[in-house]
Amino acid sequence: DDIIDAAEACPVDVIKFATSEDGASAEATDSTEETATAAADAGSSAGGAPDEGVGGEDSSDEGGVEIPPDLLEGDRKVLILVGSQSGNGESLAEEAVKLAVLGHLNAEIKLMDAATVDDFSGCLRLLIICSTWGEDEMPDNAQELWDAAAASKVDLSGLNFTVCALGDTAYEFYCQSGKDWDSRLEEMGARRVYERVDCDVDYEPPWKSWVPNALGSLASIDEAGNFSDNMVGAFAEMIMPSKKAKVIASAAGVVQPEISVSVKVFRYDPVLSEQGWDTYACTVPGHLSISQMLTSIQETQDGSLSFRRSGALCGLSVNGRPILADSCRVVDFVCGDSDSLTMSIEPLPGHDVIRDLVVATDSFENRSLSAKSWARTADRIGHRTMQGVVMGTMDISTSVNLRGVAAMSSPQLAQSWSDSLPYDGKYLGPAVCAQLWRRYLDPRTSEKARTDIMKTLESEGGLWNETDIAAIGRHGAEGHALAKTLYDCRAELLRLNKFTGKHGRHVKWFSRTVKMFGDVNETILPAMVSGPFGMIANGRQVLRMMTGFTRTGGPMLRDKQALFMPPASIGKMPPLVKLPARNHHEVVAIFNELDKRF
């Protein structure tokens, strides 16, 4: 059985293998191999597709239908146009590109703000993925192309298309943007080769069932534009064959044994305004992702469970840790003993919950818009290419360093790393602040834009609203890089403002304390950072702290100091922190560790 499964999963055209029973001779084995080879040759000479299975059983991926070679020749390009506001469309487009290869298609993704109506007329196959923004509006990156298409009179009779519309049934005009594209392309003469699919917030199930046939329909169009509808099923089976599902799942990572886990999942019903928890008993391979485990729960136990399966928006809080559901294994997040493993799954913190584990991303988008994080460039000298086009240039090292700043696989996930954001409605969030800092470092940014960026970061809701950057650094390599970016930004804010304000005053007097005494001693730290007037106002407490009789400045007997109570000593308490600090950046780093608010 293992050999048969491997043969069916192998992508080569012909598999030859032999089985031998106990006591069988070498002659019998040779005879079996010759019989299998002869059967394959007979099937080929009869005009059928080569068999990929056992002893004459027809198990070809094409379901026994031979795809004419001339259908696979020539132009096999398919253009995928994406209009998206939150990033769901881009994730689906990337998945479609990978699947298109299985159907002998060469897919190219293009965002709608980078496309023109001329791209339609020069295209043979078109797949549109478009979401609806607000009530019935096009996404920002699709509006200009839509206006041009609505006003255009170009004949698109040579274009073959299909549409995937994304929307939310909570709005009146459900998937309206996708519907508009579908009808407009038909009005312009294009041929719809497969019916449009309308996807709700939980878009994965309808997408999974629609995309094989949609791509199969586009793959059934030859170079001359002829549509072979009898080939759609064969291509669809090649693109998403059900036979290989188990093989693909088990080969997705290092194979782990099955584990039994009790999964506690947050549930929210927006219609009834009810929330609570459901618990599911699961037995799954440990190497499955969190997303695959939730898919198993949805398919076998509760079909009403809503969540995002993949992409930058599939973030969840698993056992209190924000992660991407399609990138983390079950075995890495279970808790408890081997006999009673548990897992708790909640929506991503810092975002409004739409349904169950699905959260709204408009809070991040609105914060990004309010911060004006888009590019505002200055005029600069360009380089004229061989084609006569003027193009801006940048030093390679600068470009590489700039790309490493605020490099996040999911800005929405990075927002949830902040402990402050869920409780501070004015705070922009770490991801938005990091994006602003990258714009500030970009040499293409104008001076006025740089000034505005630093004012935004310094003002209420800016970077000073983050209470603990160290908490962000605990979230893996990306979290560490993001924390370093935010620390660099704070250092520049202090420098530009000449250490004025509350935070700058603390750093300034702390630095002078170190210069005066040559080391950092926590017994005098609280007094010295308050400045000279603070020291005078708290003179008695400062004297007690400097002489070592108390750490808090309170009465000695109340604090039970060692001068009067055992163990006997001279009254000096050993300092918790005492080390040389010669450089300012070391001082700031130490201060950060002592006072997390900074």
Last residue of a domain, one of 240, 266, 282: 240
Is 556 a domain residue? yes
Final residue belonging to a domain, choices 313, 330, 359: 359
pLDDT digits (tens, 9 = 90+) for 397-449: 888 888 888 788 899 999 999 988 888 888 999 999 999 999 999 999 999 99
Instruction: Over range 228-239, report the average pLDDT.
Output: 87
Strongest mean pLDDT among 47-56, 518-527, 551-560 = 518-527
3-state class of 206 per DSSP? Answer: helix
Let me know whether 205 and 236 are in one domain.
yes
Question: Does residue 59 form part of some domain?
Answer: no
- Has residue 247 been placed in a domain? no
What's the confidence (pLDDT) of residue 23?
Answer: 42
In this prediction, residue 32 has a pLDDT band, given cuts at 50, 70 and 90, of: very low
Given 466, 489, 512, which residue is the final one in a domain? 489
**Is 61 a member of any domain?**
no
> What is the reported pLDDT for 233?
87
Q: Nearest Cα to 577, choosing from 564, 568, 590?
A: 590
Report DSSP letters for 121-170, one per residue: HT-SEEEEEEE-BTTTBPPTTTHHHHHHHHH-----TT-EEEEEEE--TT
Check whether residue 186 and residue 149 sit in a common domain: yes
Residue written as token pair 């079996």: 32
> So what's the pLDDT on residue 249?
36
Banded model confidence at residue 120, pLDDT cuts 50, 70, 90? confident
Q: Which domain holds residue 194?
A: 69-240
Predicted confidence band of residue 535 (pLDDT cuts 50, 70, 90)? low
Segment 344-356 shows an average pLDDT of 91
Task: Specify the range with the lowest mean pLDDT, choosing from 24-33, 176-185, 324-333, 404-413.
Answer: 24-33
Residues 232 and 86 in one domain: yes
The answer to which of 31-40, 105-114, 407-416, 479-488 has the lowest mean pLDDT is 31-40
| 455 located within any domain | yes
Q: What is the mean pLDDT of residues 108-124?
A: 88
The count of structural domains within the chain is: 5
- Is there a contact between 201 and 53 (Cβ–Cβ < 8 Å)? no
Q: How far apart (Å, rounded) are the C-alpha atoms in residues 445 and 240?
A: 46
The verdict on residue 364 lying in a domain is no
Same domain, 477 and 351: no
Residues 277-292: tens digit of each pLDDT: 999 999 888 888 999 9
Does 272 lie in the same domain as 338? yes
Collapsing DSSP to helix, strand or coil, 299 comes out as helix
User: What is the C-alpha separation between 469 and 595, in angstroms, rounded?
Assistant: 11
Residues 407 and 475 in one domain: yes
* pLDDT surpassing 50 at residue 64: no
CATH of the domain at 159: 3.40.50.360
Do 479 and 393 lie in a common domain?
A: yes
Identify whether 62 is part of a domain: no
What pLDDT does 531 receive?
A: 59
Query: Looking at the predicted structure, is the pLDDT value of residue 190 above 70?
Result: yes
d(CA 314, CA 298): 16
Identify the CATH number of the domain in which residue 352 sits: 3.10.20.30
Q: How confident is the model at residue 598 (pLDDT cuts 50, 70, 90)?
A: very low
Asked if 432 and 326 sit in the same domain, the reply is no
Q: What pLDDT digit, counting tens, does each position of 536-578 carry?
A: 666 665 665 555 554 444 454 545 544 444 444 444 444 444 4
| Euclidean distance between CA atoms 170 and 159, whole angstroms | 33
352 and 467 in a single domain? The answer is: no
Claim to verify: residue 314 and residue 456 sit in the same structural domain? no
Q: Residue 49's Cα: distance from chain center in Å?
A: 41
Let me know whether 339 and 267 are in one domain: yes
Query: For residue 338, what pLDDT band results from cuts at 50, 70 and 90?
Result: confident
Whether residue 597 has pLDDT greater than 90:
no
Residue 46 contacts residue 64 (beta carbons within 8 Å): no
More confident residue, 514 or 187: 187
Of residues 304 and 560, the one with the higher pLDDT is 304
Q: 129-139: per-residue pLDDT in tens?
A: 999 887 678 88
Tokens of 21: 């029973």
Distances (CA, A) of 577 to 101, 261, 523, 583: 61, 45, 9, 17
Q: Does 298 lie in the same domain as 330? A: yes
Examine residue 369 and state whether it is found in any structural domain, yes or no: no
Residue at 79: amino acid letter: L
Tell me which of 126 and 254 has the higher pLDDT: 126
Mean pLDDT of all residues in 337-363: 89
Please indicate whether residue 459 or residue 171 has the higher confidence score (pLDDT): 459
For strand 358-359 and strand 353-355, is the pairing parallel, antiparallel, or unpaired?
antiparallel
Q: What is the pTM of this model?
A: 0.50
